[in-house]
Structure 1
Amino acid sequence: MVDYREFDFPAELCCSPSPLIAIAGLDTVNNAIHRSIWDAFHSPVGRESRAVLNFFHLTSEFKFPTMSEKQLMPNIPKGILKRNWIEKHIHYDPAVIVIFYDCDWDDESWNEKISECSSRVQSIRLSLEGRKSRIVVVLIQKQLPILASDDTTTTERAASLCVACNLDPKALFILPVVDNIHGYAIRLENAFYDLAQNYYQHQIRAVKLKLENLSKTSHQYLIVRYEFKIGFYNELKQDHHNAHKHYHQCYMSLLEIRTFDTNIYEVKVVAAYIVYKISRLLFSMKRARDALSQFNSHINVFKSMIGPPELMFEHYAWLSKQFSMFASLFDETTAESFTATQAMNPGFFFKEAAEYAKKRKDSAYNICQDVNVYPASNPLNEWNSIEFYGQRPWRLMKNINITDYDTIEADGILALKYYENYKVDHSKSIISLLGNAMKQFKNYKCPRMRNLLAVQMADEYYNAKDYSKALTLWSHMLWDYRDEGWKAIAHELVNKCLKCAYLTASVQNYVELNLEALKYYKNDDLQKSLANIGSIIQRQIPEPENGLDEYEKNIAVQMWQKCDAMKSKSVLEIDMSVTNSTVDTKVVLKDVSCDSIEIDVFLKANFPILVQFSKLTACVTCIDNSYDVEVCTDSSKLIYGESKTYKYTCKFVPSPNDIGKEITVNSIQLQLGNEPDFPIMLKFYSSTKKTKSFEREMNNFSLSKTSDDEFERMKQITSATLKPRSSRLGMVIKHDNPALLLEWYNVSVCLTNLEDRPVSDICLNLSLNRNNNEKVELSTEICEDPDKNTLSLPVDFKIGNMLVGDEKNQSFFIRSSSLDTRYFQLMISYTIEDNNGIKIACVKDVEIIIDVVVVFDISVTYMSSRFEPVSKIHIGESLIMVPCIKCLSPWPIFIENTSFQLAEHIAVSPGGYQSVLNEVVLESDESATEIICVTPSEHSENVLGCFTVNWKRSNMESNCKSGYSCLELPKITTEKSTFLVDMKTPAHGWLHTPMSIVYFLHNNSESLLTLNISMEANEAFMMAGHKDLNVTILPESTYKLHYNLYPLVVGVSTLPKMHISCNSESNDLKNILNDMLLRSLQTHIYIMPKHVPTSTAEIFN
């Protein structure tokens, strides 16, 4: 009986056969080049497009399988398929033998190399013993190949090597190892594949010749065998179409064999192997429907071919393997291409396999239960020596007389029965098949089929006495069937779960299930369930469940005696959310305040008989605290019978620390029994109340969704925020809205104690509402004094204590750097003692809304020295900046001062800067202008600086502190000019009074500048000075021209006009001269009338 295995599909049958290629001459251990060649043949690179070959290393110790003796006439075979034939062609009988040899065409010892190579070829050829395997030689060369037509030496040596080795020239290959070895390996694989195809085709022809000489009447076994061989050879050729064709012919020939009790098992085994091959090929050819038809036909044919009645279990085992095999193939196919459906998927075949495995188990129990002794003749001992698939090992025993045949046959059947009874784990097989089926039904979204199989799996665990796993599975299924409203199924599952819970001494599960059983049990069963719950409370062993045998009862009693849960625990807590009990609760929070919290508890009970509980409590939780509130402790008020709703009300005082937090009734606890016994605490969690999905679906079809049951209509209120005591502290907030941008805006809070007793720990908390975005928070500053550090939000201002009637003020300042409206939350909190000396927290919230507006609209204009707008300026040229300030504030604004913060390359012109707007008050919509003259000293793309106005509200009663407005001066294009001109004139002239005018000519270039200067006189002035002049100005220097003018008319007079020209041909310089004269020189001056004396004294003075 050693190593005996029942029917199964062997590994050599289940693999995908591919041409076998033997590799000789490679030392993969010591030679790195040989190792790289071997790795190239096994590399996954480009595997999808490469030929599928099976390589094995042919060593010198390898021995080929022994060749079968050739017979002139076909004999009567002993069996159908030989066990070693498939394995031989997959692992040991190669189609092609490849001999690798290191040899270059220009090798100095060429003759010795030829001799050594030919001896290797001859040695392998002799070891083949007449096999037709193709032999090829591959020369490993360290040089790139040369075309034979270009090298006569190469051609001659290749021919001589083929002659010496008795090789066809097409069987000689070259493998250079200095280039892309993977590319050459792929080419060699294709060549090997073609040779293997040729070999297997030759084998097919040889088998067909034998097949033609057979007779259907006397050689049925050989016909089946040869057809199978042809199909297998075609499968090795990767010709699936012809392989399927011959496998099908093989199967049809097998059906023609006449069966008896002696050969029925062999025929069934061979049929199973052939159908496996057919199904696998059909699935690979995308013919899944044909595979299904073939398998169904196969089962219909062999379903009734039972064989000896004493081996009925063997027939069921065979059928179970058939369905399991086909389900596995079906699953592989659906994973690759074929799309299964809910009505047709591998799960049904796994399920059918499990059904036959159950029949096998039942049959084995009925047939084999009396077999206790293994036969002394050991009829299964020769199992490993069986030559043909499906044959019985005892029929190979030697020295068997005809008279002993019946005895040996009976011993063989007895041995199989003994093996089935003691060595086969039926439950394990059934559970495995059911698990595979459940996985498939889960994948194809068939939940009810999955649940059905889960129940069956739990049944099998129970039969295998693995009660804990059975309880787990049944419990999960109980939840599903209960949720869908299957009361009859749920009732049956409760009974099964109770047995498992009792047999495993699981106190928790046993009590939960008994509580649920009260909903289904009546009369004696009901009394027994209640009595068992009472036994648990008294720490006693409950009565055994119905349907248990004496052995199970004894084992269970021992388990209960060792149960630690009943000894160590003081209270048994039962989560009622996982069971469907006859008790349900609902909670309503009625009055939630810091003084007290009132809770209404509604309890609905439905017991067939009166049941008395001992205590009802509510578990209330907050973030940091929890409260166990006693709702009812009078057991006389906790007696429940048939369906009725009971109402209980309780109150408790919360902790002051929980004010403002969420209070939640987490659970309601109903206690059955008292300590020092083992009381049972039923916990009803309010957060897990939910309507069953089945009930939700049925409600969709009801005419009216209203319920007559008041308890069902009632809505739970399980959580609420604990509100603080209402504050009586007077609070007046003073501020002048809107605030001005960048102003320290004053807010004053006046508090008055209107309580009838002193208050303490007063605190003002200022924070931004959630309505504000993050940008608002970053652009808001808070302080108590602008001269001190700012505070971060939220801010707490400690006020301290206040007596009755006291008043206190708290001021703070807010500066806003954006125009967004601020929504502040000002919360005042304090504590006050009640009549019992308990401190009660009081809170009052007030929202402060502060709008923000702009103070000034500031714009800057750039002008030339002639007060004309300019868009660019030259280095060294005067620039006049004119900021215009318009007041947009709704309040009058007092300008404290203005200032310019100029860049380093900007200098104030001689004469300095003095603000003209200091201490000026601007009303709303009024404007004011500042002015400054500057000169750029170098070219720069940076800004010119900033203009700042420091201001405050002119109304001192607002208490707002100073603010500021800052404007970045706009950029202006700054260029370097080779020539600049400027002039110095008095502010005005007097009639008939000489005045001096000076012209400054600046040469900013690095070369001499020669200019022609002329002055155009007019009637308004008499002029003294050069009228026409040639001037040469040195590089980086200034030339001055002085003129004296004598005014002749009063009023705005036109000054003499200067003309400048140059001898340069450059148009750029001419344009610069004209441009500078137009923008830089003053053209008019105001002439005042001469002062006339009014008295003689004044004349002489």
Structure 2
Amino acid sequence: MSIDATALPSELLVAPQPLIGFCGLDTARNAVHKTIWDGFSSNRKADRAAVQYKLLPSNYDFPAVKPKRASYDRYYPKGILKRNWMLKHLHVIPAVVVLFQDMDWNDAQWQEKQTQCVATLQALKNALQERNTRLCLVLLQKSAPLPPSEDALAAEKGASLTTACGINSKMLFILPHIEHLQGCTMRLEAAFLDMAQSYYALMSKRIRAHRDQLTAAHVTLKIRHQFKLGFVAEIRQDLSTALKHYTQSYATLDEMRITDANCLEIKTIAGFLNYKICRLMFKLKVPRDSINHFMSHIEKYKNRVGSKDLIFEHYAWLSTQENVFAELFCEAIKNGLPALQTQHPGMYYNKAAEYMQKRKEAFKQSNPTPSSPMESKQKLNLQNNNITSLFTEYFGIRAVKAGEPQTEQQVNCIIRENEENFNHSVNVSLQAAIINLLSQAMTQFKIYKCLRFRKKLAIDTADEYLESGDHSKALTLYSLMLPDYRQDKWSTIFSDVLSRTLRCSFLSAAINDYVSCSLEVLSLKVNYKSSERIIVLENLWKVLQKVPVLRSAWEENLAKVKSPIHVDLDKLTDLVDMCATFEQIELKHDETICLNLILKLQTDVPLRIRNLYVLITDGANSFKLSAEQFSTCEDMVSLRQSKNEAKAINNHQQFEGNMKLQPGLYYKFLFKTDAEQFLENTQLRVLRFEVLIGTDKLMLLLTKSCLYKRCAFRHYSRTRDLDDNIIINPICYITPTFHLVTQCNLGSEIMLVNEFYPVVTTINNPYNVFLESVTLSINVPPHLKNKVFLATDIAPSKQKLHSNIQIDIGEMAMQTSNIASYFVYSLVEIAITLQQKICYTTGILKPKMNTAIAVNDVTTPTSADDSPETTKLLTANSLSPAVTLPIVSPVELEFIDENSIRKIQDTILSVNCKEEFKFSGHFYTLSRKPLTKVYRGENFLLRAGVEVKTSIELDIIETYFICDHNLVQSTYSFKRKKFTNTYRCGENLEDVIVLRTNANADEWLIAKDYERNKSETISTHIFNRLRSSRKHLTRTDTTTTGVTTSVGGNTTIPHFSKCLVGKIPTNMTIIHSNTALNAANALMMSSQNSNMSTSSTSDDGKTANNNSINTEDANMLPAPVKPLNTRPPLNIYCSIEERAYVKMPMTFKITFKNSTAKVIHLIATLIINNSDSFICSGHKQLDVSIFAFSEKELIFNLYPLVVGWHNLPQFVLEYNTQSDPTKDEAQNNLLNELVQRSVPKKVFISPPLKQQNK
């Protein structure tokens, strides 16, 4: 191999460091010297200075000093850079020479050792021959030295020693060999480094002086001196200065004219300078500049070929440049430089491999010269065909005289012969150059996630192995990359890689790989001709007949192979299109499972199969089914039509095996088995299909997942897609048998609010199975909790409401039935959906084994279930997943033990609940004006109305009004009104009630407080209706007796015993919820304060079909009334006879009640002048005095004169200012307002009675 053209010298690749030589250390026999040497040279950490140490023997021979040149006018060098210059200054000539001597100050032999030391130093000076190398002396002493000011003996002897040796006192050092030498060695190292820096600074000055003497004609010397200045600056660790000199040297090199004679030298030096420049740029953290410089360098010299006969040498140089830059890039990345996908070392390793391949191809295409290599070596006096004999003392220059074509041809022959000995693919000690570069490139592309290009590099590596004859390694790489290209569906690339894999498997006698590749080549998606597929199929059949293709390896491997050979078609390109579908997606336990397998070859050559199987699984076990019948169709249209034709059954032929499948036809295979072999509630799916092909000597077991692949792009003609022509059922569900039949009988079409609605459920067992623990559970949904309730008994003593009820039916014999009844109760108008669950316990039916299905031992499972390709297929293109789908069954199974099972069925019961009544009310004053505010103790009117909202006809039996504790009702208002009419939707009932505010109450609940209280608490919203069942109301009339009220506000209402609070059990019968109980307690607590609804109206009635209801509405809110918190100055009550007749005296009584602690003086006047309908007897004006907390009555006798509605005489009331001067006009106005609110204005005068007329 041509070292000049390819490899960079080792002295160029290392980082230059100052060289310091140690003399006088006997590390082999003296332990102290060994310790000192290790302290300097070993265990060098990153924080220590970059210094190189070298042990110099006593007879070390320094290179001779070149004579100084006075001028460079007539000096023209033979080359640019000498080979030994970098080696000499890195490893031969030290910058500092340190002499170590064992000398103590109090040594008895001090004089003799001093003389010996002087002689040694003088010998070193003579050997250096006037070089500027620094000399220093280190005395090794046993004890630590004292400071010079305290040790006079040491100062005296030290001065005499330096004088005798002819060195400066600064060059004398003391090193005591104590236990810890690290501190001493660090200080000495710093001193040595300072001396070395001064040496290299002087060297740079001398080189710079030589450079300044050069003229424009000395271009090569300028390049040399600039390189030397950069190299010395790099030794001094002055990287910026070194980069400047290297860059100037590279720019000067560009000025030289390149010819065939100097092309090799210029490229060699350019490679050196480029390496130094790129390395320093990476270290100075300017990676972009480094990359740009390298790309410019390659672009500049990639066409500078030189000799055409040695073009392979040019590609070797390019490969080396790319390789070393990639290594520099990797080193920079290790030091913290970030890389990108578009710029990383793998790109340069790949280019290096490409140039290495071009080198190989160029060498193969080069023509050898007619002259023999032996003659060339004899003319050039070369021995043993050593290529290094061609090298001169300069880099890039060979020992060939220019202008002698014969000599150049002989040298080229020697170089070609040396290149021929270089193995381009496999090396005994190291990896092949190309494979090594490709492997490094693959590693980098993998790190930076460039996986597609990494595949390409792997194929290139496999090609190199194939060309070198290492077929097993090539086959391994091809096999690893083949699935990736198959998945990418690049048919051209994949077909090419598959062809190479087939070739490698053939040459390496890998039977399994050869069989798989041969089967895949048969697919139409592989770019092979029909004639080529026929040849592949014939060769495959020879293998199946165990006819060896190659005698040596194939005979041995065919003898070892075991039949059958398993081939997973899911990992290969589609050889067949197929799908499996169950004829029924659900079937009962006593029916037959029918499975159809539709298959079409994706090849143009026929295949003969021996047998066909399908494996189905229930999640726990796998079962193998054999094909029983088959039919053929020419196209999909025929396949679709055969599904509906009756004669399709007759087209089925019996499958007996050993059948030839023809390309272009659709084959439909039928598989059957009994569902009794499986447990109930089992979901079956097709695991895979298996087909046997081959001969009796060797068979192939082809397996493939039966998942249907849905095309990503649909065909423009939908008849071309399989799933548009047939219904594909990928799973089959064996439904469990539920042995109970339920039927719900509802009471009527519509359920009313506050009604106990009866529901009767009939449970029938029509099977010959004995059932145990039969229960019926009804649950109220969560969103209806505390709105809808359930009851099993509505008797007065057992009436309890629940959210969940469970009715235990017990055991049911064969062919029997039973009835369960309950009631539904709703507080709101809503569509009610109840969750009804029925369950029972029975014995487990064991599956019946059938010989038609063999339990698969799963010894040869296909990898299709867990392969990456199948996983992607399942998520993207499959019609059904490979895992078992979640079973959605109306019957839930619970296994109690090995012999018992509990079956549960959920149903939904829907009942539509409608509103029955709408209540309304309005407040008026006694003068029949709208009431906006009311005083304590004041009488007022309530006009209550009831509107029928339901479409069902209702018979209202009676109505009554229940007062709030803030009100007092007249005695006659408690009498219930009897109704005999039947009311329909939209009809109204009205009544007027006289009310009085309770004087004992402090405040009322106004409308705004009611709305706020309704949103904050649930008591008035949920438990606000009085209700009893229809049946209970029709039993007796004692439950609808009147209401008794006490004046003091303590009210006892028997109907409250039938309210919803009394029906909620306190023993938590409402399952998992205490909300109802808390709400009931809140209602009872709220009844003890004043923050309650004003009143409620209760209706007892029945529907037209004699279903009784009892309704109470506490949300009947009249127009808003604001109760005044202050007591009025006077309460006025007026009463008139119930009936007044014309010309018969009537009494007009007015009662005053003083609720204050003062006496009130009033003047009462009855004015009859404005009324011609009445005459009055007695006083018209009276002075009235009412004592504190007492009452006063005024009775006027009126005589009506005219029949009909007439205005009563005007009653005027005012304060007596003479008796009470404190009263003013404003108080009289307030008093007049009270009179206007309390005293009636009109009265109806009836005609005279018959007795009166007589």
| TM norm structure 2 | 0.52
SS at match of 1:56: strand
The amino acid across from 2:48 in the alignment is: R
**Match for residue 325 of structure 2?**
326
The amino acid across from 1:710 in the alignment is: D
Contact 2:578 2:708 in 1 (8 A): no
Contact 2:567 2:701 in 1 (8 A): yes
Q: Structure 1 residue aligned with 2:611, among 615, 632, 649?
A: 615
Q: Structure 1 residue aligned with 2:48, among 44, 47, 50?
A: 50
The amino acid across from 1:312 in the alignment is: I
**Match for residue 275 of structure 2?**
276
SS at match of 1:111: helix
**Match for residue 679 of structure 1?**
699
Contact 1:371 1:421 in 2 (8 A): no
Q: Structure 2 residue aligned with 1:578, among 571, 589, 610?
A: 571
**Match for residue 445 of structure 2?**
441
Question: How far off its partner does 1:160 sit?
Answer: 1.4
**Match for residue 158 of structure 1?**
158
Post-superposition CA distance 1:508-556 (Å, at most 9, x none) = 22222222222233432232233333333233356xxxxxxxxxxxxxx
Tell me, in whole angstroms, the C-alpha distance in 1 between the residues paired with 2:181 and 2:612: 84
The amino acid across from 2:697 in the alignment is: D
Tell me, in whole angstroms, the C-alpha distance in 2 between the residues paired with 1:638 and 1:330: 61
Question: Which of the pair has the greater relative contact order for Cα pairs under 8 Å at 6+ separation?
Answer: 2
Contact 1:20 1:54 in 2 (8 A): yes
Post-superposition CA distance 1:548-606 (Å, at most 9, x none) = xxxxxxxxx34564352366433222122321122255556877989998765454533
Question: How far off its partner does 1:271 sit?
Answer: 1.4
Q: 1:442 to 1:371 in 2, by over 3 A?
A: farther
Contact 1:303 1:319 in 2 (8 A): yes
Which residues of 2 match residues 415-454 of structure 1 at below 5 A?
Answer: 415-425=414-424, 428-454=432-458
Question: How far off its partner does 1:107 sit?
Answer: 3.0
SS at match of 2:79: coil
Tell me, in whole angstroms, the C-alpha distance in 2 between the residues paired with 1:122 and 1:406: 55
Which residues of 2 match residues 57-96 of structure 1 at below 5 A?
Answer: 57-74=55-72, 75-96=75-96
Q: Structure 2 residue aligned with 1:538, among 533, 545, 555?
A: 545
Tell me, in whole angstroms, the C-alpha distance in 1 between the residues paired with 2:577 and 2:505: 24
Q: 1:672 to 1:393 in 2, by over 3 A?
A: same
Post-superposition CA distance 1:272-327 (Å, at most 9, x none) = 11111111111111111111222222223222221111111111211121112212
Tell me, in whole angstroms, the C-alpha distance in 2 between the residues paired with 1:640 and 1:209: 92
Contact 2:5 2:268 in 1 (8 A): no
Q: Structure 2 residue aligned with 1:529, among 536, 541, 565?
A: 536
Which residues of 2 match residues 743-822 of structure 1 at below 5 A?
Answer: none
The amino acid across from 1:530 in the alignment is: L
Tell me, in whole angstroms, the C-alpha distance in 2 between the residues paired with 1:187 and 1:442: 47
Which residues of 2 match residues 661-740 of structure 1 at below 5 A?
Answer: 667-673=688-694, 675-685=695-705, 708-710=721-723
Post-superposition CA distance 1:442-491 (Å, at most 9, x none) = 11111222222222333333332333333333333332122122122222
**Match for residue 773 of structure 2?**
none
Q: 1:7 to 1:713 in 2, by over 3 A?
A: farther
Post-superposition CA distance 1:704-739 (Å, at most 9, x none) = 99994329998886899x9999999xxxxxxxxxxx
**Match for residue 472 of structure 1?**
476
Q: 1:98 to 1:605 in 2, by over 3 A?
A: same
**Match for residue 395 of structure 1?**
400
SS at match of 1:377: helix
**Match for residue 661 of structure 2?**
639
Contact 2:611 2:658 in 1 (8 A): no
The answer for unaligned runs of 5 or more in structure 1 is 397-401, 543-556, 729-753, 759-803, 805-824, 849-923, 926-1101
Contact 1:618 1:630 in 2 (8 A): yes
SS at match of 2:99: strand
Contact 2:229 2:242 in 1 (8 A): yes
Post-superposition CA distance 1:199-255 (Å, at most 9, x none) = 1111111122222222331x3333222221111111111111111111122222223
The amino acid across from 1:49 in the alignment is: D
Contact 2:681 2:736 in 1 (8 A): yes
**Match for residue 843 of structure 1?**
899
Which residues of 2 match residues 134-533 of structure 1 at below 5 A?
Answer: 134-178=134-178, 180-217=180-217, 219-368=218-367, 374-378=373-377, 381=386, 383=388, 386-391=391-396, 393-395=398-400, 405-425=404-424, 428-517=432-521, 518-519=523-524, 520=526, 521-533=528-540
Tell me, in whole angstroms, the C-alpha distance in 2 between the residues paired with 1:594 and 1:158: 117
Q: 1:606 to 1:120 in 2, by over 3 A?
A: same
Tell me, in whole angstroms, the C-alpha distance in 1 between the residues paired with 2:200 and 2:725: 79
1:649 aligns with 2:671: yes
Tell me, in whole angstroms, the C-alpha distance in 2 between the residues paired with 1:352 and 1:256: 28
Which residues of 2 match residues 4-43 of structure 1 at below 5 A?
Answer: 7-43=6-42
Which residues of 2 match residues 1037-1056 of structure 1 at below 5 A?
Answer: none
**Match for residue 1114 of structure 2?**
none
Larger radius of gyration: 2
Tell me, in whole angstroms, the C-alpha distance in 1 between the residues paired with 2:611 and 2:414: 66
Q: Structure 1 residue aligned with 2:557, among 558, 564, 582?
A: 564
Contact 1:572 1:679 in 2 (8 A): yes
SS at match of 1:612: strand
Q: 1:339 to 1:613 in 2, by over 3 A?
A: same
Q: 1:143 to 1:353 in 2, by over 3 A?
A: same
Question: How far off its partner does 1:29 sit?
Answer: 3.4
**Match for residue 1024 of structure 2?**
none
Question: How far off its partner does 1:365 sit?
Answer: 1.3
SS at match of 2:37: helix
Tell me, in whole angstroms, the C-alpha distance in 2 between the residues paired with 1:121 and 1:478: 73
Question: How far off its partner does 1:169 sit?
Answer: 1.3
Tell me, in whole angstroms, the C-alpha distance in 2 between the residues paired with 1:375 and 1:236: 45
Contact 1:140 1:175 in 2 (8 A): yes
Q: 1:132 to 1:240 in 2, by over 3 A?
A: same
Post-superposition CA distance 1:915-965 (Å, at most 9, x none) = xxxxxxxxx99xxxxxxxxxxxxxxxxxxxxxxxxxxxxxxxxxxxxxxxx
**Match for residue 626 of structure 2?**
630
SS at match of 1:333: helix
Q: 1:316 to 1:499 in 2, by over 3 A?
A: same
Tell me, in whole angstroms, the C-alpha distance in 1 between the residues paired with 2:515 and 2:460: 24
SS at match of 2:455: helix
Contact 1:498 1:514 in 2 (8 A): yes
The amino acid across from 1:528 in the alignment is: I
Post-superposition CA distance 1:144-170 (Å, at most 9, x none) = 332212332222222112112221111
Post-superposition CA distance 1:797-843 (Å, at most 9, x none) = xxxxxxx9xxxxxxxxxxxxxxxxxxxx99999998989999x9963
Contact 1:619 1:626 in 2 (8 A): yes
Post-superposition CA distance 1:750-779 (Å, at most 9, x none) = xxxx99999xxxxxxxxxxxxxxxxxxxxx
Indicate the percent of aligned positions where both proteins have the same amino acid: 31
Aligned length: 731
SS at match of 2:275: helix
SS at match of 2:509: coil
Question: How far off its partner does 1:393 sit?
Answer: 4.7
The amino acid across from 1:540 in the alignment is: V
Q: 1:109 to 1:671 in 2, by over 3 A?
A: same
**Match for residue 823 of structure 2?**
none
Contact 1:515 1:581 in 2 (8 A): no
**Match for residue 115 of structure 2?**
115
1:131 aligns with 2:187: no
Q: 1:491 to 1:196 in 2, by over 3 A?
A: same
| TM norm structure 1 | 0.59
The amino acid across from 1:649 in the alignment is: F
The amino acid across from 2:664 in the alignment is: E
The amino acid across from 2:318 in the alignment is: L
